[in-house]
Chains A and B, each alone.
Chain A
Amino acid sequence: MTATLTTPPQTTDEQPSPKPKQKVPLTHRLNRFDVKASPYLYIAPFFVLFGLVGLFPLGYTFVVSLNKWNLLTGPAGFVGLDNYVAELTDPFFWNSLFNTISIFLLSAIPQLVIAVVIAAVLDQNIRAKTFWRMSVLIPYVVTPVAVTLIFSSAFDEKYGLINNLLTAFHLDPVMWKTETFPSHIAIATMVNWRWTGYNALILLAAMQAVPRDIYESAALDGAGPIRRFFSMTLPSIRPTMIFVIITATVGGLQIFTEPKLFNPTTATPGGPQRQYQTTVLYLWDLAFNRQNFGKASAVAWLLFLIIVLFGVLNFLISRRIASGEARASRRSTARRLARIDEQKTSVSVAVPAPAPAPAETVAAPRTPPDDSPTQEHRS
């Protein structure tokens, strides 16, 4: 009996003690766990997917590029950086790079200029806005394969629409598919047709976000539409501009579908003499026609590095260009103010002002000494 007497207190003793321990800390702990872990769970899908389809292939490609690797029969020994060395000395690689950059420049520059113009026009108070905005996006909706089919018929050398028109006007037909420069123009045309509207809409969205009242006050100050566009619109959409330029760079350097399908029956992908064989097309050819998976992977990595390089370069350049206008106007204001100041020099000496306008704080670090006169704003 003593035993039975002694045990209950033990159990009762134990029961209450775990109870508070289990009850309160459990929710507590769950709460803590929730606060700490669930954000990771929420963002996990992206990172899992990114790891699976982004990071893993990147790493795997690098491993492949360090091996002699036949597409079908698999790896045949570690060769280190030999594939990279071989590709960097291969004239076909450089030819493909030249073609890619040439097509990229021929497409990106006109495309972005036209997109900005279209966006600026759409940003005006025009009738049937939605109709016009939808219209510019339509080319983007058409699949690239269909675009290429239509354009490659139009650019056909013997039976194509364009050469028929040229010969109707007694002009020489252009060898769109077998000469380097015409073929680059033809492919750039397809890219431009498809992407201009898309970029225009993105830029338009950015333009819409520019506060209207600053336009009004600029108009009151006597700034014409062109002046307003260059001095206010362009600097205001700078971040979007940079985004558009970077995506255009990445897309432009990875161009594949258009040159692949431009003359799909040619024995060598990218033109009989590789006139428009872009780098991606070249690596595709290496992997799937020549079965050299190792070299193809090396080319893929080289292209990756080149795109990163171009991206950084474009980022820097576009930042300068977009802020250049603001800087120029600031400079001219400064000059004018300086002139006024000169007249007052005898009276007061310029003292550096504490904090310039927020827009300038961004530009300030990159605008060395010669920009210091801006601070004469204060007067």
Chain B
Amino acid sequence: MTFSRRTTRITAVAGAAAAFALLATGCSSSSTPATTGTATDPITLTVTTFGTMGYDDLYKQYEADHPNITIKATNIDTGDNAKTDWQTKEAAGAGLPDVQAVEEGWLSAVMQVSDQFNDLSAYGANDIKDRWVDWKLQQATDTKGRIIGYGSDIGPEGLCYNKTDFAAAGLPTDRDAVATLFGGSSATWDDYFTVGAKYKAATGKAFYDQSGFLWNAMVNQQKEGYYKADGTLNVDGNADLKALWTKLSTATASGLSANQTAWDWGKGKAFTDGTFSTFVCPGWMLGVVKGQVTSAGGDASTGWDFANVFPGGAANWGGSFLTVPTQSKHPQEAADLAAFLTDAKSQAAAFGVAGTFPSVTAAQTDPAVTGTNALSTFFNNAPIGQILADRAKGVVAQFKGPDDSVIQSQVFGPSIQEIDSGKADGATAWNDAITLLNQLVVNK
């Protein structure tokens, strides 16, 4: 009693299809492989993005340049919610937009059904594939060699710190001095926690918002993370991860974590009231920090700055791709739009708005990225583009297995909460994580 994927899909969609049949005919006129639609044949392209991607102005520009095209954009608040949205529509076989943004964290899930995405090679990908850093293009290529996504941003991590708080603790505030303080190019997690202990001793306050982001960075820095490159699990008995966990839980137990709710931070208040003074910042996080500080009533004078250093060396967190699902009625136009949104100029423009660091090499040296913009002004005129370009050096793409996000959020999430809230010590929390791993991933 097995069902072929095709038949079940059809039954699942039958109801919806019947209801929308009339509506659909309105669009089907252009289902013939039209090239860029003509002025007499206007089309609407739907785009779904998430978080802060900084595309709003680019949409307007694209619409102005292509009078026949209207863009209907949807932005979902977080990557997790966007993943749920995509999965639901993918499983239902209907409802996906023409251009779907995909996060690195759920790329492994996307690759399971890569045949549900258009091979962009058929729509001009081969002409532009030299745009991207090698590993970004590699990530978007499936096992059959089909290119299913155009890379937008990457997430090299630097260190955000609050210079007002640092001054209060008697620590240097200049961003170069801060980079040196944390160990410069050879910064280690030990250095980071040592400075944290100093800070804690001087102010009595916590050093970082919560342990989850640090753990995420630690894992992402490894050559192999939760999975080995051959696809086998790499958690239980992984001495490197265990050692890092011990380091993190010891520091947390000594009061360096503010035990904040990630992505909420008291609606941003924790960013403005000195609850913590350092924060791990991939490029796109800079926009998030600015948003949080602003929503809590703060501004540039709140004192956040960005240093060219990261404990444990180069780390990459996240980054997205623009894909064209096979459900799209206008694959050519959608691919063109995706290509436009990810070209060097657009990526540089988006960076100025949202801090999404370009994955296109030409954009990384673009004056719009290396120079000042609204975001860099917020961060005390830090040359954020140059710093991120520096931080991107040495980043390697880590293999992400199918259950990577489950391990991150559901296996280690509860343990991180345990050590942050002081409910359990590091060793207990690690064992709890392994128990959950066996329950949720190994014996699922």
Contacts and interface: CB of A to CB of B under 8 A. Distances in A.
A77 B2 contact: yes
A289 B410 contact: yes
A156 B1 CA distance: 49
A74 B410 contact: no
A177 B109 CA distance: 30
B410 A291 contact: no
Contacts of B416: 267, 272
Given A73-B112, A159-B269, A272-B413, A267 B3 contact: no
B267 interface: yes
A72 B90 contact: yes
A78 interface: yes
A241 B113 CA distance: 50
A213 B182 CA distance: 85
Contacts, number: 96
Contact of A267 (B88, B410, B444): B410
A72 B413 contact: no
B2 A267 contact: no
A292 B403 CA distance: 12
B113 A73 contact: yes
Nearest to B413: A267
Given A66-B1, A75-B2, A75-B8, A265 B263 contact: yes
A219 to B, nearest CB: 55
B385 interface: no
Interface residues of A, number: 37
Interface residues of B, number: 43
B134 to A, nearest CB: 28
Contact of B266 (A78, A158, A273): A158
B298 interface: no
Contact of B440 (A60, A67, A75, A290): A290
A71 B91 CA distance: 6
Interface in A265-302: 265-268, 272-274, 288-293
B11 interface: yes
* Secondary structure dominating the interface of B: helix
Interface string B342-353: 000000000000
A228 B263 CA distance: 55
Contact of B112 (A72, A78, A288): A72
A70 B108 CA distance: 14
A265 B8 contact: no
Nearest to A293: B91
Interface string B402-429: 0101101110011011100100000000
Given A177-B261, A267-B409, A272-B413, A78 B2 contact: yes
B161 to A, nearest CB: 21
A263 interface: yes
Contacts of A67: 1-3
B234 interface: no
A343 B84 CA distance: 77
B262 interface: yes
Interface of B: 1-3, 5, 8-9, 11-12, 15, 78, 84, 87-88, 90-91, 109, 112-113, 212, 260-264, 266-267, 269-270, 403, 405-406, 408-410, 413-414, 416-418, 421, 439-440, 444
